[in-house]
Protein backbone atom coordinates (compact mmCIF):
# COMPACT_ATOMS: atom_id res chain seq x y z
CA UNK A 1 0.00 0.00 0.00
CA UNK A 2 1.33 3.43 -0.83
CA UNK A 3 0.34 5.68 2.10
CA UNK A 4 1.34 8.84 0.28
CA UNK A 5 -1.53 8.21 -2.12
CA UNK A 6 -4.01 7.79 0.71
CA UNK A 7 -5.06 10.92 2.55
CA UNK A 8 -7.69 9.08 4.52
CA UNK A 9 -5.51 7.18 6.96
CA UNK A 10 -6.10 7.17 10.70
CA UNK A 11 -3.11 6.24 12.82
CA UNK A 12 -3.37 4.87 16.34
CA UNK A 13 -0.61 4.69 18.91
CA UNK A 14 -1.07 3.16 22.38
CA UNK A 15 1.08 4.36 25.30
CA UNK A 16 3.00 1.05 25.26
CA UNK A 17 4.03 1.58 21.62
CA UNK A 18 1.46 -0.62 19.84
CA UNK A 19 0.48 0.99 16.53
CA UNK A 20 -2.20 0.61 13.90
CA UNK A 21 -3.32 2.34 10.72
CA UNK A 22 -6.87 2.31 9.47
CA UNK A 23 -8.04 3.53 6.06
CA UNK A 24 -11.38 5.27 5.77
CA UNK A 25 -11.50 3.77 2.28
CA UNK A 26 -13.20 0.45 3.00
CA UNK A 27 -13.08 0.99 6.78
CA UNK A 28 -10.00 -1.16 6.51
CA UNK A 29 -7.30 -1.86 9.07
CA UNK A 30 -4.06 -1.79 7.05
CA UNK A 31 -1.33 -2.13 9.64
CA UNK A 32 -0.96 -3.51 13.15
CA UNK A 33 2.37 -3.49 14.98
CA UNK A 34 2.11 -4.88 18.54
CA UNK A 35 4.18 -3.16 21.25
CA UNK A 36 7.82 -4.12 20.68
CA UNK A 37 6.81 -6.32 17.75
CA UNK A 38 6.68 -6.42 13.97
CA UNK A 39 4.05 -5.76 11.34
CA UNK A 40 1.37 -8.48 11.47
CA UNK A 41 -0.67 -7.57 8.39
CA UNK A 42 0.14 -7.82 4.70
CA UNK A 43 -0.83 -4.92 2.44
CA UNK A 44 0.00 -5.02 -1.27
CA UNK A 45 2.32 -2.23 -2.48
CA UNK A 46 0.42 -2.29 -5.80
CA UNK A 47 -2.93 -1.46 -4.23
CA UNK A 48 -4.11 2.17 -4.16
CA UNK A 49 -7.41 3.52 -2.92
CA UNK A 50 -9.76 4.31 -5.79
CA UNK A 51 -13.49 4.95 -5.82
CA UNK A 52 -15.42 1.74 -6.24
CA UNK A 53 -12.44 -0.59 -5.82
CA UNK A 54 -11.08 -2.52 -2.84
CA UNK A 55 -7.63 -2.38 -1.27
CA UNK A 56 -5.68 -5.66 -1.38
CA UNK A 57 -4.49 -6.39 2.13
CA UNK A 58 -5.08 -5.50 5.76
CA UNK A 59 -8.57 -6.43 6.89
CA UNK A 60 -11.28 -5.64 4.31
CA UNK A 61 -14.82 -5.76 5.71
CA UNK A 62 -17.04 -8.11 3.74
CA UNK A 63 -20.74 -7.17 3.94
CA UNK A 64 -23.54 -8.04 3.06
CA UNK A 65 -22.46 -10.84 0.72
CA UNK A 66 -19.53 -13.25 0.75
CA UNK A 67 -17.75 -13.68 -2.60
CA UNK A 68 -20.34 -14.27 -5.35
CA UNK A 69 -22.77 -16.23 -3.16
CA UNK A 70 -25.64 -13.92 -4.19
CA UNK A 71 -26.62 -11.31 -6.78
CA UNK A 72 -24.76 -8.36 -5.23
CA UNK A 73 -21.18 -7.10 -5.82
CA UNK A 74 -18.40 -9.59 -5.02
CA UNK A 75 -17.67 -9.49 -1.27
CA UNK A 76 -20.38 -6.86 -0.87
CA UNK A 77 -20.40 -3.09 -0.72
CA UNK A 78 -18.51 -2.07 2.43
CA UNK A 79 -14.93 -2.55 1.25
CA UNK A 80 -15.27 -0.09 -1.62
CA UNK A 81 -16.97 2.76 0.25
CA UNK A 82 -15.66 5.67 2.29
CA UNK A 83 -16.37 5.26 6.00
CA UNK A 84 -16.46 8.03 8.65
CA UNK A 85 -14.33 8.24 11.73
CA UNK A 86 -16.74 8.66 14.66
CA UNK A 87 -14.40 8.16 17.62
CA UNK A 88 -10.66 8.09 18.25
CA UNK A 89 -9.05 7.73 21.66
CA UNK A 90 -5.45 7.26 22.57
CA UNK A 91 -4.10 6.54 26.01
CA UNK A 92 -7.37 6.83 27.93
CA UNK A 93 -7.38 3.19 29.09
CA UNK A 94 -3.75 2.46 28.26
CA UNK A 95 -4.88 1.53 24.75
CA UNK A 96 -5.81 3.24 21.47
CA UNK A 97 -9.05 2.82 19.60
CA UNK A 98 -10.91 4.02 16.54
CA UNK A 99 -14.56 3.58 15.64
CA UNK A 100 -15.52 3.84 11.98
CA UNK A 101 -19.04 3.97 10.61
CA UNK A 102 -20.72 3.34 7.29
CA UNK A 103 -24.38 4.03 6.57
CA UNK A 104 -26.55 3.42 3.56
CA UNK A 105 -26.82 6.17 0.97
CA UNK A 106 -28.30 6.48 -2.49
CA UNK A 107 -25.40 4.49 -4.00
CA UNK A 108 -25.54 1.61 -1.52
CA UNK A 109 -29.33 1.44 -1.83
CA UNK A 110 -28.92 1.00 -5.59
CA UNK A 111 -26.50 -1.88 -4.97
CA UNK A 112 -28.29 -3.46 -1.97
CA UNK A 113 -31.80 -2.21 -1.15
CA UNK A 114 -31.60 -1.97 2.64
CA UNK A 115 -31.01 0.78 5.20
CA UNK A 116 -28.12 -0.25 7.45
CA UNK A 117 -25.28 1.02 9.60
CA UNK A 118 -21.96 -0.73 10.16
CA UNK A 119 -19.61 0.15 12.98
CA UNK A 120 -16.09 -1.18 13.11
CA UNK A 121 -14.13 -0.76 16.34
CA UNK A 122 -10.38 -1.31 16.32
CA UNK A 123 -8.60 -1.39 19.66
CA UNK A 124 -4.89 -2.00 20.27
CA UNK A 125 -2.78 -2.39 23.39
CA UNK A 126 0.38 -4.39 24.05
CA UNK A 127 0.39 -7.52 21.94
CA UNK A 128 -3.37 -7.55 21.39
CA UNK A 129 -5.69 -6.30 18.65
CA UNK A 130 -9.47 -6.39 19.01
CA UNK A 131 -11.87 -5.77 16.16
CA UNK A 132 -15.63 -5.58 16.53
CA UNK A 133 -18.13 -5.37 13.69
CA UNK A 134 -21.68 -4.23 14.46
CA UNK A 135 -24.47 -4.36 11.88
CA UNK A 136 -27.69 -2.42 12.48
CA UNK A 137 -30.93 -2.60 10.53
CA UNK A 138 -32.05 1.04 10.11
CA UNK A 139 -34.86 0.22 7.72
CA UNK A 140 -38.44 -0.96 7.95
CA UNK A 141 -37.99 -4.46 6.58
CA UNK A 142 -35.91 -7.34 7.83
CA UNK A 143 -32.74 -8.30 5.95
CA UNK A 144 -30.22 -11.10 6.06
CA UNK A 145 -26.52 -10.78 5.32
CA UNK A 146 -23.13 -12.46 5.31
CA UNK A 147 -20.05 -10.80 6.78
CA UNK A 148 -16.33 -11.37 7.26
CA UNK A 149 -13.17 -9.71 8.46
CA UNK A 150 -10.98 -10.75 5.52
CA UNK A 151 -7.67 -10.65 7.40
CA UNK A 152 -4.40 -10.82 5.41
CA UNK A 153 -1.79 -12.07 7.94
CA UNK A 154 1.79 -11.32 6.96
CA UNK A 155 4.20 -14.29 6.97
CA UNK A 156 7.86 -14.55 5.98
CA UNK A 157 7.48 -17.84 4.14
CA UNK A 158 4.14 -19.54 3.53
CA UNK A 159 5.90 -22.92 3.36
CA UNK A 160 6.60 -22.72 7.09
CA UNK A 161 3.05 -21.84 8.10
CA UNK A 162 0.37 -23.97 9.68
CA UNK A 163 -3.03 -23.18 11.10
CA UNK A 164 -4.00 -25.05 14.23
CA UNK A 165 -7.45 -25.57 15.73
CA UNK A 166 -9.64 -26.45 12.74
CA UNK A 167 -9.89 -30.17 13.51
CA UNK A 168 -13.26 -31.96 13.18
CA UNK A 169 -14.78 -29.09 11.24
CA UNK A 170 -16.53 -29.41 7.88
CA UNK A 171 -15.17 -27.46 4.97
CA UNK A 172 -15.95 -26.64 1.37
CA UNK A 173 -13.38 -25.73 -1.27
CA UNK A 174 -14.82 -22.60 -2.90
CA UNK A 175 -13.21 -23.19 -6.30
CA UNK A 176 -14.23 -26.86 -6.77
CA UNK A 177 -17.20 -27.23 -4.40
CA UNK A 178 -15.41 -30.24 -2.86
CA UNK A 179 -16.58 -30.88 0.70
CA UNK A 180 -14.78 -32.67 3.51
CA UNK A 181 -13.87 -32.72 7.17
CA UNK A 182 -10.59 -31.40 8.51
CA UNK A 183 -9.35 -34.35 10.58
CA UNK A 184 -5.94 -33.21 11.71
CA UNK A 185 -5.19 -30.52 14.26
CA UNK A 186 -2.88 -28.75 11.80
CA UNK A 187 -3.68 -27.39 8.39
CA UNK A 188 -0.35 -27.15 6.57
CA UNK A 189 -0.25 -24.88 3.57
CA UNK A 190 1.30 -26.18 0.37
CA UNK A 191 3.45 -23.35 -0.97
CA UNK A 192 2.55 -22.27 -4.46
CA UNK A 193 -0.75 -24.12 -4.47
CA UNK A 194 -3.86 -21.99 -4.07
CA UNK A 195 -6.19 -22.66 -1.16
CA UNK A 196 -9.73 -21.27 -0.96
CA UNK A 197 -11.58 -23.05 1.81
CA UNK A 198 -14.60 -22.18 3.95
CA UNK A 199 -14.46 -24.03 7.26
CA UNK A 200 -17.80 -24.12 9.00
CA UNK A 201 -18.57 -23.53 12.70
CA UNK A 202 -18.70 -23.80 15.58
CA UNK A 203 -16.05 -21.18 16.08
CA UNK A 204 -12.90 -22.11 17.96
CA UNK A 205 -9.63 -20.57 18.94
CA UNK A 206 -7.08 -20.83 16.16
CA UNK A 207 -3.33 -20.43 16.05
CA UNK A 208 -1.35 -19.24 13.07
CA UNK A 209 2.12 -20.72 13.54
CA UNK A 210 5.20 -19.89 11.48
CA UNK A 211 8.19 -22.08 12.20
CA UNK A 212 11.35 -20.02 11.85
CA UNK A 213 15.01 -21.06 11.83
CA UNK A 214 15.53 -19.75 15.35
CA UNK A 215 12.13 -18.66 16.62
CA UNK A 216 8.54 -19.65 16.10
CA UNK A 217 5.96 -16.96 15.59
CA UNK A 218 2.45 -17.53 16.90
CA UNK A 219 -0.69 -15.52 16.40
CA UNK A 220 -3.63 -16.51 18.56
CA UNK A 221 -6.93 -15.89 16.73
CA UNK A 222 -10.08 -15.80 18.86
CA UNK A 223 -13.50 -15.00 17.49
CA UNK A 224 -16.95 -14.52 18.94
CA UNK A 225 -20.12 -14.31 16.89
CA UNK A 226 -18.41 -15.38 13.66
CA UNK A 227 -19.13 -19.10 13.15
CA UNK A 228 -17.04 -19.76 10.04
CA UNK A 229 -13.45 -19.28 8.92
CA UNK A 230 -12.10 -18.78 5.42
CA UNK A 231 -8.53 -19.80 4.60
CA UNK A 232 -7.35 -18.26 1.35
CA UNK A 233 -4.12 -17.84 -0.54
CA UNK A 234 -4.13 -17.35 -4.31
CA UNK A 235 -1.01 -19.45 -4.99
CA UNK A 236 1.92 -18.83 -7.32
CA UNK A 237 -0.18 -18.52 -10.52
CA UNK A 238 -2.46 -15.87 -9.06
CA UNK A 239 -2.37 -13.35 -11.94
CA UNK A 240 -3.87 -10.71 -9.65
CA UNK A 241 -2.93 -7.29 -11.07
CA UNK A 242 -2.85 -5.63 -7.64
CA UNK A 243 -0.53 -8.25 -6.06
CA UNK A 244 3.21 -8.49 -6.88
CA UNK A 245 3.93 -11.85 -8.57
CA UNK A 246 5.97 -13.28 -5.67
CA UNK A 247 3.95 -11.86 -2.77
CA UNK A 248 1.55 -14.82 -2.53
CA UNK A 249 4.20 -16.40 -0.26
CA UNK A 250 4.11 -13.51 2.21
CA UNK A 251 0.55 -13.77 3.51
CA UNK A 252 -2.30 -16.07 4.33
CA UNK A 253 -5.87 -14.94 4.80
CA UNK A 254 -7.61 -16.39 7.84
CA UNK A 255 -10.99 -14.70 7.79
CA UNK A 256 -13.46 -14.61 10.68
CA UNK A 257 -16.73 -15.05 8.80
CA UNK A 258 -20.47 -15.63 8.98
CA UNK A 259 -21.34 -17.38 5.74
CA UNK A 260 -23.33 -20.60 6.09
CA UNK A 261 -26.09 -19.20 8.29
CA UNK A 262 -26.72 -15.57 7.33
CA UNK A 263 -28.09 -13.67 10.33
CA UNK A 264 -31.58 -12.18 9.91
CA UNK A 265 -32.01 -8.70 11.37
CA UNK A 266 -35.41 -7.24 12.16
CA UNK A 267 -35.87 -3.45 11.91
CA UNK A 268 -33.95 -1.73 14.71
CA UNK A 269 -31.98 -4.86 15.63
CA UNK A 270 -28.22 -5.17 15.80
CA UNK A 271 -25.74 -8.03 15.27
CA UNK A 272 -22.24 -7.88 16.72
CA UNK A 273 -19.21 -10.13 16.19
CA UNK A 274 -15.57 -9.84 17.19
CA UNK A 275 -12.11 -11.16 16.54
CA UNK A 276 -9.17 -10.74 18.90
CA UNK A 277 -5.54 -11.38 17.99
CA UNK A 278 -2.63 -11.90 20.30
CA UNK A 279 0.89 -11.92 18.90
CA UNK A 280 3.33 -14.22 20.67
O1 LIG B 1 -9.96 -10.70 -5.09
P2 LIG B 1 -11.00 -10.50 -4.00
O3 LIG B 1 -12.35 -10.09 -4.54
O4 LIG B 1 -10.51 -9.54 -2.95
O5 LIG B 1 -11.21 -11.89 -3.32
C6 LIG B 1 -10.12 -12.56 -2.77
C7 LIG B 1 -10.56 -13.92 -2.23
O8 LIG B 1 -11.32 -13.71 -1.07
C9 LIG B 1 -11.62 -14.92 -0.37
O10 LIG B 1 -12.38 -14.58 0.76
C11 LIG B 1 -12.44 -15.82 -1.24
O12 LIG B 1 -12.66 -17.04 -0.56
C13 LIG B 1 -11.72 -16.08 -2.54
O14 LIG B 1 -12.56 -16.84 -3.41
C15 LIG B 1 -11.35 -14.76 -3.22
O16 LIG B 1 -10.59 -15.03 -4.39
Question: Which H helix or E strand runs over 109?
Answer: helix 106-111
Nearest ligand 1 atom to alpha carbon 60: 4
Q: Ligand 1 — pocket residues by CB below 6 A?
A: 54, 67, 74-75, 150, 174, 196, 230, 232, 255
Residue 97 DSSP SS3: strand
What string of DSSP letters covers 195-248? EEEEE-SS---EEEEEE-SS-EEEEEEEEES--EEEEEE--TT---TTS-TTGG
pLDDT band at 254 (very low <50, low <70, confident <90, very high): very high
138: left (phi over 0), alpha (psi -120 to 50) or beta: alpha
Q: For residue 234, report the distance from its CA to the centre of ligand 1, in Å.
A: 8
Topology adopted by domain 3-279: Beta-galactosidase; Chain A, domain 5 (2.70.98)
pLDDT band at 3 (very low <50, low <70, confident <90, very high): very low
Which residue's alpha carbon is at the smallest distance from atom 4 of ligand 1?
56
CA dist list (Å): 40 to 59, 116, 192, 278: 11, 31, 21, 10
Q: Is the per-residue pLDDT at 26 higher than 50?
A: yes
pTM to 2 decimal places: 0.96
Q: Is the per-residue pLDDT at 214 higher than 90?
A: no
89 tagged catalytic: no
255 tagged catalytic: yes
pLDDT tens profile 43-79: 999 998 888 899 999 999 999 999 999 999 999 999 9
Q: From the candidates 25, 75, 114, 150, give the one annotated as an active-site residue.
A: 150
CA dist list (Å): 130 to 18, 212, 214, 273: 12, 26, 29, 11
ipTM at complex level = 0.98
Q: Is the per-residue pLDDT at 1 higher than 80?
A: no
Contact 161, 248 (CB under 8 A): no
pLDDT of residue 186: 93
Amino acid sequence: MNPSKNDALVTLRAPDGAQATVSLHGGQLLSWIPAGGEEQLYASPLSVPAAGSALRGGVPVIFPQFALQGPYPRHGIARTRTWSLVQREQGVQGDALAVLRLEDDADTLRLWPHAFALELTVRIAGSRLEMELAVENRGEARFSFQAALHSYWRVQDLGRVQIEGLQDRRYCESDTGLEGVQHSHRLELLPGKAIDRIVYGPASTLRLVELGEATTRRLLIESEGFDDVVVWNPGADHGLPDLPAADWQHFVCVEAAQIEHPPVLEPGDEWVARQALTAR
